[in-house]
């Protein structure tokens, strides 16, 4: 049996990068084990669902495993795997597996209370610092954006979940995007949001735009 174990940093961007590579070479292996923790396990089960020989396992970083490799970045991994003539291309049409049933459920729960257009704001903190000065409803699934004296108070729907892939339909139908979390950002970059003109990332370093070409039409707000 041809088997490999992959150690990986616990950030969604790395799991997504790895997914794009494995989706083209997974059939060379009988079994692929990928290091994972509880935070990313449910999300990865959906994303990697079509790669039937992929398993997610808990491993310590320094644990000794035969035939193992560490995923640090795309090019380094490709070189270590001795993959020749490999070109990684990101298409606007996502190849990620998605849970459309759950996405529709979350979207319809929101639209029960918010029938008008809305802004999608994602921040795990309860801060309400946002570069938006118009009148659309601002929805953060983690916290109510409004106080009792606001006209929009009472519309918020509690849609908190660790499986952030369930928000994708809500995101695709938003009028603007305001994102504080990098896991959410890199998930959004996997889908086509070119129809949304105003996309904002709140980050401590403006140079993050150089990290990924798909960020070229995003505005970075440094804080």
Over the stretch 30-67, which tens digit does the pLDDT of each residue have?
999 999 999 999 999 999 999 999 999 997 767 778 88
The reply to whether 52 falls in a domain is yes
- Looking at the fold, whether 110 and 67 belong to one and the same domain comes out as no
Tens of pLDDT, residues 76-125:
888 887 766 666 655 555 678 999 999 999 999 999 999 999 999 999 99
Given 47, 80, 113, the domain boundary residue is: 80
* Mean pLDDT along residues 2-28: 93
Are both 70 and 18 inside the same structural domain? Answer: yes
Answer yes or no: is pLDDT of 162 > 60: yes
Domain boundary among 32, 51, 80: 80
pLDDT score for 84? 60
One domain, residues 137 and 211: yes
Query: Looking at residue 87, what is its pLDDT?
Result: 63
pLDDT digits (tens, 9 = 90+) for 168-201: 999 999 999 999 999 999 999 999 999 999 999 9
* 119 and 215 in a common domain: yes
Clarify whether residues 66 and 104 are in a common domain. Answer: no
Taking the CA atoms of 71, 75, 78 and 80 in sequence, report the sign of the dihedral they define.
negative
Percent of the chain residues past pLDDT 70, beyond the cut? 94
Residue 88 lies in a domain: no
On whether both 115 and 216 belong to a single domain, the answer is yes
CA distances from 174 to 18, 108, 168 (A): 28, 13, 10
Strand, coil or helix: what is 46?
helix
**Token pair for 112:** 């029960």
Q: Number of folded domains in the chain?
A: 2
Kindly state whether residue 66 falls inside one of the protein's structural domains. yes
* Element spanning 203, H or E: strand 198-203
- DSSP E strands, 61-146: 68-70, 118-122, 137-139
Tell whether 94 is covered by a domain. no
Give the domain-ending residue among 50, 80, 110: 80
Rounded Cα distance, 212 and 220, in Å? 13
Contact 127, 178 (CB under 8 A): no
pLDDT number for residue 198? 97
State the Cα–Cα distance between residues 97 and 16, nearest whole angstrom: 12
For residue 93, being part of any structural domain is answered with no
Write out the residue range of the structural domain in which residue 58 sits: 3-80
| Side-by-side strand order, sheet with 137-139 | 137-139, 118-122, 176-179, 198-203, 219-222
Query: Where residue 74 falls among pLDDT bands split at 50, 70, 90?
Result: confident
What is the per-residue pLDDT for 184? 98
């Amino acid at each position: 049996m041809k088997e490999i174990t992959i150690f990986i940093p616990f950030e969604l961007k790395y799991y997504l990068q790895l997914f794009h590579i494995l989706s083209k070479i997974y059939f060379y292996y009988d079994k692929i084990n990928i290091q994972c923790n509880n935070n990313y396990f449910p999300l990865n089960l959906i994303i990697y669902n079509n790669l039937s020989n992929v398993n997610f396992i808990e491993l310590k970083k320094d644990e000794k495993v035969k035939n193992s490799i560490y995923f640090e970045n795309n090019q380094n991994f490709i070189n270590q795997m001795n993959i020749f003539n490999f070109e990684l291309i990101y298409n606007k049409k996502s190849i990620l597996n998605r849970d459309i049933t759950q996405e529709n459920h979350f979207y319809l729960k929101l639209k029960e209370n918010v029938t008008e257009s809305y802004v999608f704001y994602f921040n795990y903190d309860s801060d309400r610092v946002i570069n938006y000065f118009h009148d659309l409803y601002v929805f953060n699934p983690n916290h109510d954006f409004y106080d009792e004296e606001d006209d929009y108070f009472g519309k918020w729907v509690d849609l908190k979940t660790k499986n952030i892939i369930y928000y994708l339909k809500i995101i695709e139908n938003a009028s603007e995007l305001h994102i504080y979390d990098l896991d959410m950002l890199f998930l959004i970059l996997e889908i086509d949001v070119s129809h949304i003109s105003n996309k904002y990332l709140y980050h401590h370093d403006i140079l993050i735009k150089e990290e990924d070409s798909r960020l070229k039409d995003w505005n970075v707000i440094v804080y």
